[in-house]
Chain A
Amino acid sequence: MSFEILTFSFMHRALISGIAIAILCSVVGLFLVLRRYSLFGDAIAHSSFGGIALGLLAGVYPLWTAYGVSIAGALIITKIKDRYNISGDASIAVLLSSGIAVGLVIIGLSGGFTIDIFSFLFGSILLVSVDDTILILSLTGIILIVILILYRQILYSTFNEEQAKVSGIPVEKINYLIVFMAGITVVTSIQLVGVLLISALFVIPNVTAIMYGKGFKQTAIISMSFSIFSVIVGILVSYVFDITPAGTIVLMAIGLLAGTMGIKSAGLLSKN
Protein backbone atom coordinates (compact mmCIF):
# COMPACT_ATOMS: atom_id res chain seq x y z
CA MET A 1 0.00 0.00 0.00
CA SER A 2 1.51 3.30 -1.02
CA PHE A 3 0.72 6.65 0.55
CA GLU A 4 0.34 8.17 -2.87
CA ILE A 5 -3.43 7.86 -2.57
CA LEU A 6 -3.32 10.48 0.16
CA THR A 7 -2.17 13.06 -2.38
CA PHE A 8 -5.17 12.73 -4.69
CA SER A 9 -7.55 15.63 -4.33
CA PHE A 10 -10.64 13.44 -4.78
CA MET A 11 -9.31 11.44 -1.84
CA HIS A 12 -8.96 14.62 0.23
CA ARG A 13 -12.56 15.54 -0.53
CA ALA A 14 -13.74 12.01 0.24
CA LEU A 15 -11.92 11.91 3.58
CA ILE A 16 -12.98 15.41 4.64
CA SER A 17 -16.63 14.82 3.73
CA GLY A 18 -16.49 11.36 5.21
CA ILE A 19 -15.18 12.60 8.56
CA ALA A 20 -17.83 15.33 8.72
CA ILE A 21 -20.58 12.83 7.97
CA ALA A 22 -19.14 10.38 10.50
CA ILE A 23 -19.35 12.99 13.25
CA LEU A 24 -22.82 14.13 12.21
CA CYS A 25 -24.31 10.65 12.03
CA SER A 26 -22.86 9.58 15.34
CA VAL A 27 -24.17 12.64 17.20
CA VAL A 28 -27.65 12.72 15.68
CA GLY A 29 -27.81 8.92 15.79
CA LEU A 30 -27.03 8.84 19.51
CA PHE A 31 -30.26 10.69 20.29
CA LEU A 32 -32.25 8.47 17.92
CA VAL A 33 -30.84 5.29 19.46
CA LEU A 34 -31.60 6.55 22.96
CA ARG A 35 -35.14 7.37 21.91
CA ARG A 36 -35.57 3.79 20.67
CA TYR A 37 -35.86 5.24 17.23
CA SER A 38 -32.88 3.47 15.70
CA LEU A 39 -34.53 2.66 12.40
CA PHE A 40 -35.84 6.15 11.84
CA GLY A 41 -32.72 7.05 9.86
CA ASP A 42 -33.35 4.06 7.66
CA ALA A 43 -36.95 5.13 7.07
CA ILE A 44 -35.89 8.67 6.12
CA ALA A 45 -33.26 7.24 3.78
CA HIS A 46 -35.84 5.10 2.03
CA SER A 47 -38.16 8.06 1.65
CA SER A 48 -35.26 9.99 0.15
CA PHE A 49 -35.22 7.31 -2.55
CA GLY A 50 -38.61 8.69 -3.63
CA GLY A 51 -37.15 12.18 -3.59
CA ILE A 52 -34.14 11.15 -5.66
CA ALA A 53 -36.36 9.49 -8.26
CA LEU A 54 -38.47 12.65 -8.36
CA GLY A 55 -35.39 14.77 -9.00
CA LEU A 56 -34.13 12.48 -11.75
CA LEU A 57 -37.56 12.59 -13.42
CA ALA A 58 -37.88 16.36 -13.13
CA GLY A 59 -34.28 17.00 -14.13
CA VAL A 60 -33.48 18.70 -10.81
CA TYR A 61 -30.34 17.85 -8.85
CA PRO A 62 -31.67 14.73 -7.03
CA LEU A 63 -30.21 15.58 -3.62
CA TRP A 64 -32.30 18.77 -3.45
CA THR A 65 -35.54 16.90 -4.03
CA ALA A 66 -34.30 14.25 -1.61
CA TYR A 67 -33.86 16.90 1.11
CA GLY A 68 -37.38 18.22 0.48
CA VAL A 69 -39.14 14.88 0.36
CA SER A 70 -37.23 13.33 3.28
CA ILE A 71 -37.62 16.21 5.69
CA ALA A 72 -41.28 16.66 4.79
CA GLY A 73 -41.90 12.92 5.07
CA ALA A 74 -40.17 12.70 8.45
CA LEU A 75 -42.07 15.65 9.90
CA ILE A 76 -45.42 14.46 8.53
CA ILE A 77 -45.00 10.93 9.86
CA THR A 78 -44.08 12.33 13.28
CA LYS A 79 -47.20 14.49 13.30
CA ILE A 80 -49.38 11.54 12.24
CA LYS A 81 -47.78 9.30 14.85
CA ASP A 82 -48.60 11.75 17.65
CA ARG A 83 -52.04 12.63 16.37
CA TYR A 84 -53.29 9.07 15.80
CA ASN A 85 -51.19 7.39 18.48
CA ILE A 86 -49.34 5.05 16.11
CA SER A 87 -46.35 3.27 17.67
CA GLY A 88 -42.83 4.34 16.71
CA ASP A 89 -41.89 1.15 14.84
CA ALA A 90 -45.13 1.09 12.84
CA SER A 91 -44.68 4.72 11.79
CA ILE A 92 -41.16 3.87 10.63
CA ALA A 93 -42.56 1.05 8.48
CA VAL A 94 -45.11 3.41 6.94
CA LEU A 95 -42.51 6.05 6.06
CA LEU A 96 -40.03 3.51 4.73
CA SER A 97 -42.44 1.74 2.41
CA SER A 98 -44.13 4.87 1.10
CA GLY A 99 -40.78 6.32 0.09
CA ILE A 100 -39.79 3.22 -1.85
CA ALA A 101 -43.26 2.94 -3.41
CA VAL A 102 -43.16 6.54 -4.63
CA GLY A 103 -39.64 5.98 -5.99
CA LEU A 104 -40.59 2.82 -7.87
CA VAL A 105 -43.67 4.40 -9.44
CA ILE A 106 -41.71 7.44 -10.56
CA ILE A 107 -38.92 5.32 -11.98
CA GLY A 108 -41.56 3.34 -13.88
CA LEU A 109 -43.07 6.55 -15.23
CA SER A 110 -39.69 7.77 -16.38
CA GLY A 111 -39.22 4.60 -18.40
CA GLY A 112 -36.98 2.42 -16.30
CA PHE A 113 -33.89 2.49 -14.10
CA THR A 114 -31.17 4.94 -14.81
CA ILE A 115 -27.62 4.21 -13.79
CA ASP A 116 -27.63 7.29 -11.55
CA ILE A 117 -29.90 5.67 -9.05
CA PHE A 118 -27.22 3.15 -8.08
CA SER A 119 -24.81 5.75 -6.81
CA PHE A 120 -27.55 6.93 -4.47
CA LEU A 121 -28.39 3.45 -3.30
CA PHE A 122 -24.80 2.53 -2.50
CA GLY A 123 -23.04 5.87 -2.08
CA SER A 124 -20.32 7.49 -4.14
CA ILE A 125 -17.94 9.13 -1.73
CA LEU A 126 -15.00 9.10 -4.14
CA LEU A 127 -17.04 11.20 -6.56
CA VAL A 128 -17.98 14.09 -4.24
CA SER A 129 -17.35 17.47 -5.84
CA VAL A 130 -15.94 20.58 -4.19
CA ASP A 131 -19.48 21.98 -3.98
CA ASP A 132 -20.72 18.78 -2.33
CA THR A 133 -17.89 18.98 0.18
CA ILE A 134 -18.69 22.58 1.04
CA LEU A 135 -22.38 21.74 1.46
CA ILE A 136 -21.58 18.74 3.68
CA LEU A 137 -19.21 20.79 5.86
CA SER A 138 -21.69 23.66 6.22
CA LEU A 139 -24.65 21.47 7.14
CA THR A 140 -22.50 19.53 9.59
CA GLY A 141 -21.32 22.76 11.16
CA ILE A 142 -24.82 24.17 11.50
CA ILE A 143 -26.32 21.02 13.01
CA LEU A 144 -23.44 20.56 15.45
CA ILE A 145 -23.79 24.16 16.62
CA VAL A 146 -27.54 23.75 17.14
CA ILE A 147 -26.95 20.56 19.11
CA LEU A 148 -24.22 22.17 21.18
CA ILE A 149 -26.50 25.08 22.09
CA LEU A 150 -29.55 22.93 22.88
CA TYR A 151 -27.58 19.99 24.22
CA ARG A 152 -29.11 20.02 27.71
CA GLN A 153 -32.70 20.34 26.48
CA ILE A 154 -32.26 17.62 23.87
CA LEU A 155 -30.62 15.24 26.32
CA TYR A 156 -33.19 15.95 29.04
CA SER A 157 -36.21 15.38 26.80
CA THR A 158 -34.59 12.20 25.49
CA PHE A 159 -33.96 10.95 29.03
CA ASN A 160 -37.44 11.61 30.37
CA GLU A 161 -40.08 13.59 28.51
CA GLU A 162 -42.37 14.13 31.45
CA GLN A 163 -39.70 15.51 33.75
CA ALA A 164 -38.34 17.68 30.97
CA LYS A 165 -41.81 19.18 30.50
CA VAL A 166 -42.04 19.94 34.22
CA SER A 167 -38.68 21.70 33.96
CA GLY A 168 -40.23 23.94 31.34
CA ILE A 169 -38.49 22.46 28.29
CA PRO A 170 -40.53 22.67 25.07
CA VAL A 171 -40.37 18.92 24.54
CA GLU A 172 -42.55 18.79 21.44
CA LYS A 173 -40.51 21.42 19.61
CA ILE A 174 -37.32 19.59 20.54
CA ASN A 175 -38.78 16.36 19.14
CA TYR A 176 -39.54 18.00 15.81
CA LEU A 177 -36.11 19.59 15.76
CA ILE A 178 -34.48 16.18 16.13
CA VAL A 179 -36.60 14.75 13.33
CA PHE A 180 -35.71 17.71 11.13
CA MET A 181 -32.00 17.34 11.86
CA ALA A 182 -32.21 13.59 11.23
CA GLY A 183 -33.74 14.35 7.82
CA ILE A 184 -30.89 16.66 6.86
CA THR A 185 -28.26 14.28 8.23
CA VAL A 186 -29.57 11.28 6.34
CA VAL A 187 -29.72 12.97 2.95
CA THR A 188 -26.31 14.54 3.50
CA SER A 189 -24.89 11.12 4.31
CA ILE A 190 -26.33 9.38 1.27
CA GLN A 191 -23.22 10.30 -0.69
CA LEU A 192 -21.05 8.41 1.77
CA VAL A 193 -22.84 5.14 2.35
CA GLY A 194 -25.94 5.30 0.17
CA VAL A 195 -29.58 4.88 1.04
CA LEU A 196 -29.28 1.25 2.07
CA LEU A 197 -26.60 1.52 4.74
CA ILE A 198 -27.41 4.82 6.44
CA SER A 199 -28.74 3.40 9.65
CA ALA A 200 -25.45 1.55 10.16
CA LEU A 201 -23.68 4.87 10.75
CA PHE A 202 -26.51 6.11 12.98
CA VAL A 203 -26.68 3.02 15.12
CA ILE A 204 -23.54 0.85 15.21
CA PRO A 205 -20.94 3.31 16.63
CA ASN A 206 -23.47 4.42 19.27
CA VAL A 207 -24.47 0.94 20.35
CA THR A 208 -20.74 0.19 20.62
CA ALA A 209 -19.95 3.34 22.60
CA ILE A 210 -22.82 2.83 25.06
CA MET A 211 -21.24 -0.50 26.07
CA TYR A 212 -18.26 1.29 27.61
CA GLY A 213 -20.40 2.35 30.57
CA LYS A 214 -19.38 6.01 30.53
CA GLY A 215 -21.31 9.25 30.95
CA PHE A 216 -22.97 11.16 28.16
CA LYS A 217 -20.14 13.30 26.82
CA GLN A 218 -17.62 10.47 26.90
CA THR A 219 -20.08 8.12 25.21
CA ALA A 220 -20.61 10.68 22.45
CA ILE A 221 -16.85 11.12 22.01
CA ILE A 222 -16.19 7.37 21.89
CA SER A 223 -18.95 6.96 19.32
CA MET A 224 -17.57 9.80 17.19
CA SER A 225 -14.07 8.35 17.31
CA PHE A 226 -15.28 4.91 16.23
CA SER A 227 -17.35 6.45 13.49
CA ILE A 228 -14.43 8.52 12.16
CA PHE A 229 -12.08 5.55 12.37
CA SER A 230 -14.49 3.33 10.41
CA VAL A 231 -14.94 5.94 7.71
CA ILE A 232 -11.25 6.73 7.23
CA VAL A 233 -10.08 3.12 7.27
CA GLY A 234 -13.09 2.05 5.21
CA ILE A 235 -12.42 4.59 2.47
CA LEU A 236 -8.68 3.83 2.26
CA VAL A 237 -9.04 0.05 2.39
CA SER A 238 -11.81 0.02 -0.16
CA TYR A 239 -9.74 2.12 -2.54
CA VAL A 240 -6.67 -0.03 -2.20
CA PHE A 241 -8.60 -3.26 -2.75
CA ASP A 242 -11.01 -1.73 -5.23
CA ILE A 243 -14.16 -2.69 -3.33
CA THR A 244 -17.24 -0.66 -2.40
CA PRO A 245 -16.49 2.02 0.25
CA ALA A 246 -20.00 1.89 1.79
CA GLY A 247 -19.81 -1.81 2.59
CA THR A 248 -16.24 -1.56 3.85
CA ILE A 249 -17.04 1.36 6.16
CA VAL A 250 -19.97 -0.47 7.68
CA LEU A 251 -17.92 -3.65 8.12
CA MET A 252 -15.26 -1.62 9.97
CA ALA A 253 -17.95 -0.31 12.33
CA ILE A 254 -19.26 -3.83 12.84
CA GLY A 255 -15.70 -4.98 13.53
CA LEU A 256 -15.39 -2.40 16.33
CA LEU A 257 -18.73 -3.52 17.73
CA ALA A 258 -17.64 -7.16 17.68
CA GLY A 259 -14.31 -6.24 19.28
CA THR A 260 -16.08 -4.31 22.03
CA MET A 261 -18.42 -7.20 22.70
CA GLY A 262 -15.38 -9.47 22.90
CA ILE A 263 -13.62 -7.19 25.39
CA LYS A 264 -16.81 -6.96 27.40
CA SER A 265 -17.45 -10.68 27.63
CA ALA A 266 -13.82 -11.23 28.56
CA GLY A 267 -14.64 -9.02 31.56
CA LEU A 268 -12.04 -6.41 30.67
CA LEU A 269 -14.56 -3.55 30.76
CA SER A 270 -15.21 -2.52 34.33
CA LYS A 271 -18.77 -1.60 35.16
CA ASN A 272 -18.05 2.08 35.44
Chain B
Amino acid sequence: MLLKRGAEAELHVEDFTLHPLGKGKVVVKHRVPKRYRIRELDLSLREARTSLEARLLSDAKRAGVLTPPVYEVDRENMRVVMEYVEGRPLKEVLEEMGREERRRVCREIGRYVARLHRKGLVHGDLTTSNLLLTPGGDLYLVDFGLGEYTSSLEARGVDLHLLRRALQSVHFRIAEEAYREICSAYLREFGKGGREVLARAEEIARRGRYIGREERGALLRDGK
Protein backbone atom coordinates (compact mmCIF):
# COMPACT_ATOMS: atom_id res chain seq x y z
CA MET B 1 0.00 0.00 0.00
CA LEU B 2 1.35 3.41 -0.92
CA LEU B 3 2.00 5.36 2.26
CA LYS B 4 3.42 8.52 0.78
CA ARG B 5 4.85 9.90 -2.41
CA GLY B 6 7.34 12.44 -1.18
CA ALA B 7 9.70 14.70 -3.07
CA GLU B 8 12.43 12.13 -3.46
CA ALA B 9 11.04 8.82 -2.32
CA GLU B 10 8.02 6.58 -2.48
CA LEU B 11 7.07 4.81 0.72
CA HIS B 12 5.06 1.63 0.78
CA VAL B 13 3.71 -0.29 3.72
CA GLU B 14 4.11 -4.04 3.32
CA ASP B 15 3.60 -7.14 5.41
CA PHE B 16 6.80 -8.26 7.06
CA THR B 17 6.88 -11.66 5.37
CA LEU B 18 10.40 -12.47 6.54
CA HIS B 19 9.60 -11.99 10.17
CA PRO B 20 10.40 -15.26 11.95
CA LEU B 21 7.15 -15.06 13.81
CA GLY B 22 5.37 -13.97 10.67
CA LYS B 23 3.89 -10.72 11.82
CA GLY B 24 4.18 -6.98 11.69
CA LYS B 25 4.46 -4.43 8.95
CA VAL B 26 7.40 -2.71 7.31
CA VAL B 27 7.91 0.51 5.42
CA VAL B 28 9.83 0.27 2.17
CA LYS B 29 11.38 3.59 1.26
CA HIS B 30 12.41 3.71 -2.37
CA ARG B 31 14.36 6.65 -3.73
CA VAL B 32 13.11 7.10 -7.27
CA PRO B 33 15.24 8.33 -10.19
CA LYS B 34 15.01 12.00 -11.05
CA ARG B 35 15.28 12.64 -14.75
CA TYR B 36 15.99 16.34 -14.39
CA ARG B 37 19.53 15.66 -13.20
CA ILE B 38 22.22 13.81 -15.11
CA ARG B 39 22.51 10.10 -14.51
CA GLU B 40 25.85 10.12 -12.67
CA LEU B 41 24.68 12.70 -10.21
CA ASP B 42 21.29 11.05 -9.78
CA LEU B 43 22.82 7.64 -9.04
CA SER B 44 25.45 8.93 -6.68
CA LEU B 45 22.96 11.02 -4.71
CA ARG B 46 20.45 8.23 -4.35
CA GLU B 47 23.11 5.71 -3.41
CA ALA B 48 24.74 7.96 -0.87
CA ARG B 49 21.45 8.91 0.75
CA THR B 50 20.18 5.35 0.90
CA SER B 51 23.25 4.09 2.77
CA LEU B 52 23.48 7.17 4.90
CA GLU B 53 19.86 6.92 5.93
CA ALA B 54 20.27 3.33 7.10
CA ARG B 55 23.46 4.04 9.04
CA LEU B 56 22.13 7.16 10.67
CA LEU B 57 18.85 5.50 11.69
CA SER B 58 20.85 2.91 13.59
CA ASP B 59 23.41 5.29 15.04
CA ALA B 60 20.69 7.68 16.15
CA LYS B 61 19.06 4.86 18.05
CA ARG B 62 22.37 4.19 19.77
CA ALA B 63 22.56 7.86 20.68
CA GLY B 64 19.26 7.57 22.53
CA VAL B 65 16.81 8.75 19.87
CA LEU B 66 13.77 6.67 19.01
CA THR B 67 13.96 5.57 15.35
CA PRO B 68 12.38 2.65 13.47
CA PRO B 69 14.68 -0.41 13.33
CA VAL B 70 16.21 -1.00 9.89
CA TYR B 71 15.77 -4.49 8.46
CA GLU B 72 17.31 -4.20 5.06
CA VAL B 73 19.34 -1.83 2.89
CA ASP B 74 19.25 -2.49 -0.83
CA ARG B 75 21.82 -0.19 -2.43
CA GLU B 76 21.19 -1.62 -5.86
CA ASN B 77 17.54 -0.63 -5.92
CA MET B 78 17.92 2.28 -3.52
CA ARG B 79 15.55 0.83 -0.95
CA VAL B 80 15.55 0.93 2.83
CA VAL B 81 13.25 -1.45 4.66
CA MET B 82 12.37 -0.45 8.22
CA GLU B 83 9.77 -1.07 10.84
CA TYR B 84 6.39 0.53 10.34
CA VAL B 85 5.66 3.02 13.10
CA GLU B 86 2.02 3.25 14.04
CA GLY B 87 1.58 6.96 14.56
CA ARG B 88 0.82 10.33 13.05
CA PRO B 89 3.20 12.88 11.62
CA LEU B 90 3.76 15.57 14.20
CA LYS B 91 2.97 18.11 11.50
CA GLU B 92 -0.68 17.13 11.70
CA VAL B 93 -1.06 17.16 15.44
CA LEU B 94 1.37 19.70 16.89
CA GLU B 95 -1.02 22.64 16.72
CA GLU B 96 -4.09 20.75 17.89
CA MET B 97 -2.66 19.22 21.01
CA GLY B 98 -2.87 20.84 24.41
CA ARG B 99 -0.23 23.28 25.55
CA GLU B 100 1.29 20.96 28.10
CA GLU B 101 1.51 18.06 25.70
CA ARG B 102 3.10 20.34 23.12
CA ARG B 103 5.67 21.47 25.64
CA ARG B 104 6.46 17.87 26.47
CA VAL B 105 6.88 16.99 22.78
CA CYS B 106 9.04 20.04 22.12
CA ARG B 107 11.28 19.19 25.03
CA GLU B 108 11.64 15.69 23.65
CA ILE B 109 12.63 17.12 20.27
CA GLY B 110 15.23 19.35 21.93
CA ARG B 111 16.67 16.35 23.77
CA TYR B 112 16.76 14.27 20.58
CA VAL B 113 18.62 16.89 18.62
CA ALA B 114 21.11 17.42 21.43
CA ARG B 115 21.75 13.67 21.70
CA LEU B 116 22.40 13.42 17.99
CA HIS B 117 24.73 16.38 18.04
CA ARG B 118 26.67 15.14 21.02
CA LYS B 119 27.32 11.88 19.24
CA GLY B 120 28.55 13.62 16.12
CA LEU B 121 25.40 13.28 14.01
CA VAL B 122 23.21 15.90 12.41
CA HIS B 123 19.81 15.10 10.96
CA GLY B 124 19.85 17.58 8.09
CA ASP B 125 16.09 17.86 7.62
CA LEU B 126 14.46 18.47 10.97
CA THR B 127 10.79 19.13 10.26
CA THR B 128 7.57 18.09 11.92
CA SER B 129 6.88 15.81 8.93
CA ASN B 130 9.86 13.75 9.95
CA LEU B 131 8.65 13.16 13.49
CA LEU B 132 5.97 10.60 14.23
CA LEU B 133 3.91 10.59 17.40
CA THR B 134 2.47 7.23 18.45
CA PRO B 135 -0.84 6.86 20.30
CA GLY B 136 1.23 5.94 23.36
CA GLY B 137 3.03 9.29 23.18
CA ASP B 138 6.37 8.06 21.83
CA LEU B 139 8.17 10.30 19.40
CA TYR B 140 10.00 8.71 16.44
CA LEU B 141 12.48 10.53 14.23
CA VAL B 142 12.76 9.44 10.56
CA ASP B 143 14.16 10.58 7.20
CA PHE B 144 17.92 10.82 7.73
CA GLY B 145 18.91 10.92 4.05
CA LEU B 146 20.24 14.47 4.28
CA GLY B 147 22.10 13.85 7.51
CA GLU B 148 25.78 13.93 8.17
CA TYR B 149 28.47 12.65 10.48
CA THR B 150 30.00 15.83 11.80
CA SER B 151 30.67 17.72 14.98
CA SER B 152 31.10 21.10 13.36
CA LEU B 153 29.45 24.06 15.01
CA GLU B 154 28.18 25.23 11.64
CA ALA B 155 26.42 21.95 10.85
CA ARG B 156 24.80 21.85 14.27
CA GLY B 157 23.72 25.46 13.92
CA VAL B 158 22.22 24.76 10.49
CA ASP B 159 20.34 21.77 11.91
CA LEU B 160 18.62 23.94 14.52
CA HIS B 161 18.13 26.80 12.09
CA LEU B 162 16.33 24.47 9.67
CA LEU B 163 14.06 23.26 12.43
CA ARG B 164 13.14 26.80 13.32
CA ARG B 165 12.53 27.67 9.68
CA ALA B 166 10.34 24.60 9.27
CA LEU B 167 8.31 25.66 12.29
CA GLN B 168 7.98 29.18 10.95
CA SER B 169 6.80 28.15 7.52
CA VAL B 170 4.35 25.47 8.69
CA HIS B 171 3.38 26.23 12.29
CA PHE B 172 3.82 29.99 12.35
CA ARG B 173 1.22 30.46 15.10
CA ILE B 174 3.21 28.52 17.64
CA ALA B 175 6.63 28.55 16.02
CA GLU B 176 8.50 30.81 18.39
CA GLU B 177 7.05 29.30 21.53
CA ALA B 178 7.87 25.80 20.28
CA TYR B 179 11.37 26.76 19.24
CA ARG B 180 12.09 28.31 22.63
CA GLU B 181 11.01 25.14 24.37
CA ILE B 182 13.15 23.04 22.05
CA CYS B 183 16.16 25.27 22.67
CA SER B 184 15.92 25.15 26.42
CA ALA B 185 15.70 21.35 26.39
CA TYR B 186 18.58 21.28 23.92
CA LEU B 187 20.70 23.38 26.24
CA ARG B 188 20.01 21.19 29.24
CA GLU B 189 20.72 17.96 27.37
CA PHE B 190 23.73 19.18 25.42
CA GLY B 191 25.43 20.80 28.37
CA LYS B 192 28.60 22.79 27.86
CA GLY B 193 28.84 24.29 24.38
CA GLY B 194 25.11 24.28 23.75
CA ARG B 195 24.87 28.07 23.92
CA GLU B 196 27.39 28.37 21.16
CA VAL B 197 25.26 26.21 18.88
CA LEU B 198 22.17 28.31 19.55
CA ALA B 199 24.14 31.47 18.88
CA ARG B 200 25.39 30.03 15.61
CA ALA B 201 21.84 29.18 14.58
CA GLU B 202 20.90 32.83 15.19
CA GLU B 203 23.81 34.00 13.10
CA ILE B 204 22.87 31.69 10.23
CA ALA B 205 19.36 33.12 10.24
CA ARG B 206 20.84 36.53 9.50
CA ARG B 207 22.72 35.34 6.40
CA GLY B 208 21.20 34.30 3.11
CA ARG B 209 20.44 37.71 1.81
CA TYR B 210 22.97 40.18 0.53
CA ILE B 211 26.09 39.58 2.44
CA GLY B 212 29.05 41.88 2.46
CA ARG B 213 32.21 41.06 0.58
CA GLU B 214 34.10 40.53 3.80
CA GLU B 215 31.55 38.11 5.20
CA ARG B 216 31.49 36.26 1.93
CA GLY B 217 35.27 36.06 1.86
CA ALA B 218 35.24 34.55 5.32
CA LEU B 219 32.68 31.94 4.29
CA LEU B 220 34.75 30.91 1.33
CA ARG B 221 37.94 30.75 3.36
CA ASP B 222 36.36 28.52 5.95
CA GLY B 223 35.20 26.30 3.10
CA LYS B 224 31.73 26.14 4.53
The answer to whether A and B belong to the same complex is no
Residues of chain A having any CB pair with chain B under 8 Å: none
Residues of chain B having any CB pair with chain A under 8 Å: none
